[in-house]
Amino acid sequence: MTEVVTFRAEDDCYHKLSDDPYETETNWWSWNVPGRKLGGWIHTPYYPNRKTVTWRIFVWGPDGYDPARMGYYRKVEEAPMPDNPDLRDITFPGGGYSLKMLEPGMKYHLQYEDEARDFALDFVFEGAHPPRRFEPGEPPFLQTPHYDQLGRITGTLRLRGEDIALDCWSVRDRTWGPRGGPYAQSRKQSYADDLERVLRPGGARWREIERERGRGRIQYIFGHADGQSGFLGFVRPQDGDAEGWSPMNGGYLLRDGAYGSLDKAKSRMRCFRSPETGWCTHMQVEFTDLEGRTLAAEGMAVSRMSEAGYGTNQLMRWDFDGKVGWGEDQDVWNGPHFLRMLDALRATR
CATH code where residue 155 lies: 2.40.370.10
Cα dihedral across residues 295, 297, 303, 308: positive or negative: positive
Q: Could you give the 3-state DSSP secondary structure of residue 277?
A: coil
Peptide bond before residue 139 is cis, with ω within 30 degrees of 0: no
State how far the Cα of 65 lies from the Cα of 309, in Å rounded to an integer.
9
Q: Give the mean model confidence (pLDDT) for residues 126-150.
A: 81
Percentage with pLDDT > 70 across the chain:
94
State how far the Cα of 149 lies from the Cα of 126, in Å rounded to an integer.
10
Q: Is residue 143 located within the same domain as residue 175? A: yes
With 70 as the cut, is the pLDDT of residue 192 above it? no
Q: Is residue 144 located within the same domain as residue 77? A: yes
Q: Is residue 137 located within the same domain as residue 206? A: no
State how far the Cα of 129 lies from the Cα of 254, in Å rounded to an integer.
11
Q: Is residue 51 located within the same domain as residue 174? A: yes
Other C-beta atoms closer than 10 Å to the C-beta of 144 total 17
Other C-beta atoms closer than 10 Å to the C-beta of 187 total 8
Domain boundary among 181, 215, 244: 181
**9 assigned to some structural domain:** no
Residue environment code for 67-85, b if the CB has 16+ CB neighbours within 10 A, otherwise e: beebbbbbebeeeebeeeb
Domain boundary among 147, 181, 215: 181
Q: Give the mean model confidence (pLDDT) for residues 322-344.
A: 96
Q: Is residue 209 located within the same domain as residue 267? A: yes
Query: Which CATH number does the domain housing residue 227 bear?
Result: 2.40.370
Greatest mean pLDDT among 80-94, 126-140, 193-207? 80-94
Q: Is residue 175 located within the same domain as residue 213? A: no
What are the helix (H) ranges across 108-173? none
CB 122 within 8 A of CB 238: no
Q: Report which of residues 227 and 6 the model is more confident about.
A: 227
Q: Is residue 132 located within the same domain as residue 244? A: no
Using alpha carbons, list the distances in angstroms from residue 264 to 259, 292, 319.
Answer: 15, 12, 22
Q: Give the mean model confidence (pLDDT) for residues 252-257.
A: 95
The DSSP 8-state label assigned to residue 105 in this structure reads T
Q: Is residue 305 located within the same domain as residue 326? A: yes
Q: Is 162 left (phi over 0), alpha (psi -120 to 50) or beta?
A: beta
Q: Is residue 199 located within the same domain as residue 157? A: no
With 90 as the cut, is the pLDDT of residue 4 above it? no
Tell me what pLDDT residue 8 has: 85
Name the band, by pLDDT with cuts 50, 70 and 90, for residue 54.
very high
Name the band, by pLDDT with cuts 50, 70 and 90, for residue 186.
low
**11 assigned to some structural domain:** no
Q: Is residue 208 located within the same domain as residue 151? A: no
Tell me what pLDDT residue 133 has: 80
Tell me what pLDDT residue 187 has: 60
- Name the domain count of the chain: 2
**103 assigned to some structural domain:** yes
Among 295, 148, 311, which residue's Cα sits nearest to residue 234?
148
With 90 as the cut, is the pLDDT of residue 1 above it? no
What pTM does this model have?
0.94
Q: Is residue 38 located within the same domain as residue 145? A: yes
**5 assigned to some structural domain:** no
Q: Give the mean model confidence (pLDDT) for residues 70-81.
A: 98
348 contacts: CB under 8 Å, gap ≥ 6: none
Tell me what pLDDT residue 132 has: 85
**79 assigned to some structural domain:** yes
Q: Could you give the 3-state DSSP secondary structure of residue 18?
A: coil
Tell me what pLDDT residue 17 has: 87
Average pLDDT, the chain: 93
* Structural domain boundaries, residue 299: 192-346
Q: Is residue 106 located within the same domain as residue 242? A: no
**12 assigned to some structural domain:** no
Domain boundary among 150, 181, 212: 181
State how far the Cα of 281 lies from the Cα of 283, in Å rounded to an integer.
7
**10 assigned to some structural domain:** no
Q: Tens digit of pLDDT for each residue in 199-253?
A: 999 999 999 999 999 888 889 999 999 999 999 999 999 999 999 999 998 899 9
**187 assigned to some structural domain:** no
Q: Give the mean model confidence (pLDDT) for residues 294-317.
A: 97
